Amino acid sequence: MIRRDQQVVFRDRLLAEAVRSHERDGSAAINDPSAEHAAQQAGGDFEHRIITRAANLPIARQLRDSLHQVSTVMIWIVAIGVLLALIAGAATARATLGVDGPGVANFYWVLGGVLGVQTIALLLWAIVFTWATLRSSLANTPATVSLGSIVLGAGQLIAGKLHQQSEHTAAVQAAGRVLTHGPIGRWLFSSITHGLWLAFNIGCLLMIIVLLSARQYTFVWETTILTEEHYVTLTQAIATVPDTVGFTTPTEEQIAASQRREGQPLPETAREAWSSLLAGCIVVYGLGPRLLLLGLSLSGFRASKRRFRLDRTLPGYARLERRLADQPSRITEPDGDGGELPAEQQPPPTHRDRPTGQPAVLGIEINRPDIAWPPQLPGVSWDDLGVLEDRDDRRRAIDQLSNADTEPARLVIACDLTTTPDRGIARLVRQLRSLLTRDPLVLLTGGHALRSRGLDAAHVAQRVEDWQQLAAGAGVQHEHVIEVDLEHLTDANAKRISSLISPNGEATAQSASTRRIEQAFDHIVQHVQGWVSRKVAADDAAAHAELHRAIAKTYRHETGSLRDMLNAPRSLDAADLTASLKDSAQRAVNLLPDRLRKSPKWLAAGAMSGALGCVAAATLLSPIAIAALPTWSLIGAAIAAVAQPSRKAADTQTAQHDFGDAVRSAALFAMLLELQGCDETTITRVLDRVLDHKSEQPIADAAAARAILDHLRHRLDLALAEVTR
């Protein structure tokens, strides 16, 4: 029963891996409230909640069936490998026994043919396995190459070819990751390898017994440079273990008499002893060690399966942590009717006149491990009140604020959008406000984590509005409640918060010191000028990628946030690069307002900015030359998949030297980086006011590019002044 339960637990973890693979290909976590609720109700650690959620998703049944199909294919491939190993062993024995002519067999030639290669293979396996075990801290590294890895890899490949459904693909990927990496992979590969060699030895032994039973063989040995004493000593050494376990072995006289000499008759004595020694050597030096190692490997495989745990740091799991932990606030207090949050007016202040001290910051149930705490802001030295997790933390922070000799220059309250605002938090904010002469600054963080759940814009906007209503009910003015993701804090937002904290500071949408749109647009003009002089084709993807990377370097501090928004991989070596490029293209297109998604040119620009932005963000993290990347066909396919069919009508009208697509794509990329830190709704509103039909005109040279970019920059300034005021 215990073994069965352990097997079930491993299968559940494998199912969770399959769900992660499926969600990675789909580029967003599956939004299923019932499964998430079941996970929250199940309790336990984060891994247990991941497994419970996976088991309750509607797709779980299809994934289980696919995992069963994959395991069945792999078992059949291993079985075929065992059968082939048996045949190979029998063929090897038959070939080596007949090499010296009918009825004559050179004992050492037969022994070397049967045991030589596998003995060398066994030594190599021991060296490689020991080396891999010493690297066991790298749990996610692929296991080493061996017969087992080749057979299992063939099974995985065939399983992937049998079905093309996304569920089956996810099952193959999950099985491949779990069964071919780390300790599980090493022990499983070893089990298959030793099982194949065990089958090989069984085939050898059976064929030798059959041949020795049906034919008469005379065993001899011969040499050119060694003496009779050498062979006697060598044979006795080899025969020591077989003799110990009960096999008949030739005597010293029989060994000496078995030397093959020119002109002398072949020795016909001791045939039984030599035959027994040959069979004994195969059992003792071939079959026996492989049988023992097979048992050891199977035990290690079972133990590694019991110890296997999900890697919760992987993006597919990390982004679920807040979703599965989105429980009611731990600061919640009992309320009478449990109705909606009241919108009380600001309570009478209970503060006393105190001198002003340095700014203070506290967090309300934010996910502290993912956030640099306290936030690093230019020119700000914090009085850190910590992160409030329960009522004891609440009382401590209130006592500290009440009894301090100075009042904070500004109290910053960081709240997590993934937490549902409730009465307990509302009372806490009201009580904090009552201790101050100046409004606190309420920062709503965690927006990226909330949006990564796949929720629509309306749901996210409603959550922001709920928090704004809570702050208003506590007496905090609307302009002092801002959404800033502390996990992806940009320079612009850091300076914006700093200005709000300063005694006379005012909120600014874009600080002059962080504005870089002019520099980014200058890069575009310079690249177009270079393309014209070098006669670069208008559809040269490598040139376009270089331009996007130049823009990304200008906004180097913001590319990490952009990579998260586009779901771009950290490396272009990712196995699902095609899906990542397509997903990044689609995400950029989704930021466009509806009217621009109907424009073939802006639809193409959005897809290009997303796909090339994915490449630019990834290459900034590694020393990869753009020109050396073999991704251009993938980029084109990703853009076409997102921009078609609307793009088809415009393709035939595009001039050979019209750089309009490249300029629009790069300009959109620069504006997205300039707007980093704003929520997605604000970004879409700004783009709706900036992008117009004039910017869709053909662009043949640098002057035309400059004119279009100046037009876009002017409209961007107007849009920012209107949207962010």
Residue 99 lies in a domain: yes
Q: State pLDDT tens for residues 573-611.
A: 555 566 667 777 777 777 788 777 777 888 888 888 877
The pLDDT of residue 36 is: 78
Helix, strand, coil abundance in the chain, percent, nearest 5: 65, 5, 30
Give residue 56's domain range: 2-62+310-324
Q: State pLDDT tens for residues 282-302.
A: 999 999 899 999 999 899 888
CB atoms within 10 A of CB 540: 15
Residue 398 host element (H or E):
helix 391-403
- Both 571 and 439 in a single domain? no
The pLDDT of residue 139 is: 42
Q: Which residues contact 260 (CB under 8 A, 6 or more apart)?
A: 106, 220, 221, 222, 266
Residue 310's region, left for phi above 0, alpha for psi from -120 to 50, else beta, is beta
- Both 524 and 666 in a single domain? yes
- Both 601 and 556 in a single domain? yes
- Both 57 and 84 in a single domain? no
Residue 414 lies in a domain: yes
- Sorting pLDDT into bands at 50, 70 and 90, what band is 356? confident
Residue 509 lies in a domain: no
Residue 206 lies in a domain: yes
Last residue of a domain, one of 501, 531, 550: 501
- Both 697 and 687 in a single domain? yes
Residue 573 lies in a domain: yes
| Cα–Cα distance, 219 to 640 (Å, whole number) | 72
CA–chain centroid gap for 83, Å, is 37
- Both 147 and 90 in a single domain? yes
Q: What is the dihedral of CA 156, 158, 163, 164, to 10 degrees?
A: 70
288 within 8 A of 272, measured Cβ to Cβ? no
Q: Which residues contact 687 (CB under 8 A, 6 or more apart)?
A: 591, 592, 593, 596, 668, 671
Residue 330 lies in a domain: no
182 within 8 A of 93, measured Cβ to Cβ? no
CATH of the domain at 484: 3.40.50.300
- Both 679 and 627 in a single domain? yes
Angle, vertex CA 196, rays to CA 216 and CA 237, nearest 5: 55
- Both 151 and 228 in a single domain? yes
Arithmetic mean of pLDDT, 210-217: 84
Residue 376 lies in a domain: yes
Last residue of a domain, one of 439, 467, 501: 501
| Cα–Cα distance, 600 to 593 (Å, whole number) | 13
Residue 512 lies in a domain: no
- Both 214 and 316 in a single domain? no
Domain count, the chain: 4
Rank 407-411, 611-615, 620-624 by mean pLDDT and report only the highest: 407-411
Q: What pTM does this model have?
A: 0.48
- Both 125 and 265 in a single domain? yes
- Both 297 and 376 in a single domain? no
Last residue of a domain, one of 307, 339, 368: 307
Q: State pLDDT tens for residues 477-535.
A: 888 888 887 876 766 677 778 878 875 544 443 443 457 888 888 889 898 888 888 88
- Both 184 and 268 in a single domain? yes
